Structure 1
């Protein structure tokens, strides 16, 4: 009996110990779970604050209305936080059993996870209130030209005959700012009953664009399994029921079908209008804009006024700072975004060293000026990345080889592109030229380069140039890949150091410097273009200079003082383009027979008395330019027939006058008449018989351009004869 009692007591004892241990463990677990729940709740509270901040911004700044799902979430968070507070009170006061409390806390922990997962709201926290368009926050318009552009766009939008308006211009020029001002003015004008603003993504995503438009009109497209056609139908139905609706699509990068999105085709019947902003006129055309307006950069005086405003007037009163400031504004090249960014970065700065450093950074094509990379170059870089293909990008980057503010002759530029292989060699140079001008127009339409049309060339581009900041962008790109060495117009007096001739350099420009001698033996086997033109003091090139440049395809030595070419030059068997124009110390060109791939040879305004030896071996020569070679006294017979691909022969102002026939060892006009390829001709006849032989041969009908002089040379004689010949041709046609 005693033993049984003792055993029972021991069992009871251990049961008590186990119970106490369980109680302690449960207490500790409860504390741990409560602490974990409180941490999760604190995170949820932080997320709640973020969502409320977003909601307030959308409601206050943009006049939007919070979504119902956001309200539900916020209400659930509020209820949940109360329950957590209640659980803590129950724990502290022991109102319910620990078992029930533990179970309740576990349920709360599961709920907080769900609440935190639902707070993302990928489609935004608010929508436009139906019938209540929201104003767009817009910076002040800083110039008369911007206001004039805004007025033009405004008038187009008010014109009942115009349904689509395209606005384009380079990055940072102020397109969006102008359209925001128009948007806000229209809000108060009553012209349109419904006004919608949608920013299109940089990489056009039609699904996301539908979401953006749906959000703008308060249409719920939350059913993500809906197909594109159904979504389009819903958007179309909602937009179609709105009277006098204006849709502004900002920052469009690619044309797209309105019907595919669900946007009604604008017409006078539905009163719908569409306005877009873009960086490319091609997009305006692709969207069938009836009026296209280009937003230009500021005028110089407007650029200075804007800079002065951003910097703060008193700083510019300094006699040391003001001249530097004027140069900084010039470097910004009248681009509003750049002027604003640099001006803000220098606002209130009175240290002239900081100003000089800013100017130097802008000149050197790189900058650590606050905001320039993020605000300016990133936008310009995106324009570059959006160019259609690598070939177009290469053609654009090539323009950076020329100095700042340099007017690039488009004819030469296209010849260089062909030489580089970016334009396929075709059966005639006219097709190559047309392809080149098409690329130029594409770059101009994308606002990557500026074009200058020539009246004399009947609207065809005569010269082109790069905006200073876009040139800086191009140079920054070419510091890495493809590798360029650009030292154009840097007042160099010596050849760059050996270490600067990096082995993987693709193109190099030393043009417009003061180099007297090219020395050394640079190791640049991948170099394809070398610009040396404009080094007026250059008299000597070391014999081995070109030895390790076997890949060269384009070389320009124009406007130098050389009198010969080094031995290593004649091993450049890949050379396509060679220019020696205005080399006024060049009396003789050595034998060129080894340069069999040469397509363009230009010897204009040199003092040569005879053609280079071996010229008849240049079987791929397409263009031979000998204009203003006043001392050239012989064109040997038999050369033209051997140059079977020659299309353009230019000898305006040359000392050689073509005879009608000859018994000398000289060519006569018969060789030109019998050439099947020559389509561009500039020359002077020795006598009227040669002129008559050309006219009577019928060759003239195969010529696409010509300038012909008789007896004497010079621009006036050349032009008069050209007009006379045109008259004769017209008379013959009658």
Structure 2
């Protein structure tokens, strides 16, 4: 190549390299055809695993009422499309010859790269987010009456909201007049009239935590503060956010002046029509301190209004001859105060003895209350009367509830855990009995209007006025001392008062400022929450409180005080969201009945816990770092009735397995003959405990198999430490195959469970008969996932019993060999309670229902069918011996009149709802939500 110039030679060499390299690559596609195909198959299998994981998170987020992120939806679509493309590639690949191998090898290589790229992008920190409630938050108006005295104020406030010249509106009146409910009615109407883009409600109360209020407002507006944000930055951010929409900000129950601007609660000069709606017991606070431009005074009810409300609650018998005169006097004693009328009426509504009413009237007249700030004496008198009417147990529970924070939503299953140690119930010794008694007493207090319904089931609240009375009663009767804040130094310094108290509650303490030693010989319970993870709790603090029975410490991040070991009468110890590593002292508390370590960052339970032979409740939920429970600890706790390990320990020792530490074995649970409640995860199905254990369980949440996750729980509010989930149901998540299907324990769980998540494995072709022969008589929800062998959910040739008589939800996902849900006829009563049906990714399912079985599904309200490749109809018209293609349709057996929602998505071969019918007739011309979609 001497004739080439050096520069041309360099170019020439590159061309030759490129040509040879390209040729080599093309030859490689042919030579490495099988390798590329195998690589593609591996990549798509891995993508499926990632997709399934993301899909599970999506379903959990949807169950938590979250909106799925757009990027997650796009990724799932991409994963589905590329999977479909690969599926078509393999179909073509089966017919490959030498001529086409090059092209297919090249295609396999490129598809492999594409699949890998999509797979690598399938990592998401979160898949969904909560959508703000449309229009914002409102206040409950349950029990609101449209009295004339209230309508005048309601109309006035509504007019003021429409007046552009008014920035702040005030509603004032004594406690118990219904100011909050009236403002809630205003908010509801303002949303209906679309006066504001958003309504935000916060409660201030007597001892406000203004930083928390600022945080709550920001949360309602979708504004998230960063940990590093200064107070000034937070105020600036909130102020800017408030300017972006027309907002009604309701600030309820203001007691003293609040400089809102310091916390960024300001709409600026250009308010865009935003307004403040303020409530207070004190007109001066609204007028002089909060600069309300229009103030409305809520007064007591008129005589007629008061009498109407009372009779509505008590019943018409109150107006009969025997009761009427007394009733008029009782109503008069309530002085037109709704809270007083409601409380007294609910106490007397089941009392049909006139003498009881006369005694009630005497009590109301003779009460001599001490003045409570901002409270009308008739309110105190009426609440005290209802309190006197309670049993001793209900009275104690009522007073104990007043020790919780003002406006706190209290979970019943948190409450009873504390009360286990107080021993004030009669003839109650077991956890089950404590739980039931507390539920009963809470219902009694609700019926008496001394407690209010909470935001969710199994929760309640206490009206701030009623709480004030309860605190006063508790204080006067030397029952318990509620210290509202760590700044309340007068109470801390009043050691005589503390000495006589039986209870102290302080949710936002500064542990470093607690007394060095509590001289409280009568103290039964202490509830303390550290406000700012300050310094260690004083080491000797409990030396003078040796009769303590219940101790609750929240957000403790330092070692336990040594004086804890002196509390030999302690029966309940709760450490909530604590970070203390050394828990050895707990082993010395020999009389403990309940040990609650919810949300605590611990890695190992101390071996000394095996000495707690009186322990009845062990609660380790959300101890996500707990990896070690020493062997023979659990088996020694012979009196255990409840074990809770949700999102916690699952590193069970397997016999013959060599590990760094000797951990607890599942078989240890066989020794716990009193166990009735169990929440746990057993990743290895081959190490199940004895069947007798499962037979004793009253409630359980048990995960068996390696790949199960706990359902998403209620969001925890660490600031209020509402750390307990919903009441436990009989839930089983199970990887099932022939190898341990005949296990007696599995059969017991399947027969008794209410919520079943099933991943059928090798050898399982239908659910009923093969999995359970009795028809799942108690099952309410059934989720069947990820099976390559399931052909039918029910094969009624072999199964003749009533199937799923109480089932409410059936969900079938990724059952690629499912041919029919029901094969052959069903016994009458099967599926008679089914409300919702979900079918997704069942690629061999040609239809969902047979026309001859529709009578079994007459209560269906929701149907969702997605991603089923060959489905041609939702309903297949069948005669007794096969699918009816032509001929008359028997409309009398077709009944979908309850359907409210029909969602059909990605069904490429769907020809119609019914294989040979007018779909509209199926729904009896009802208005339904019908949705469909295709890629």
TM-score norm. by structure 2 comes to: 0.39
Q: Tell me which of the two structures has the higher relative contact order, counting C-alpha pairs closer than 8 angstroms and 6 or more residues apart.
A: 1
Bigger Rg, structure 1 or 2: 1
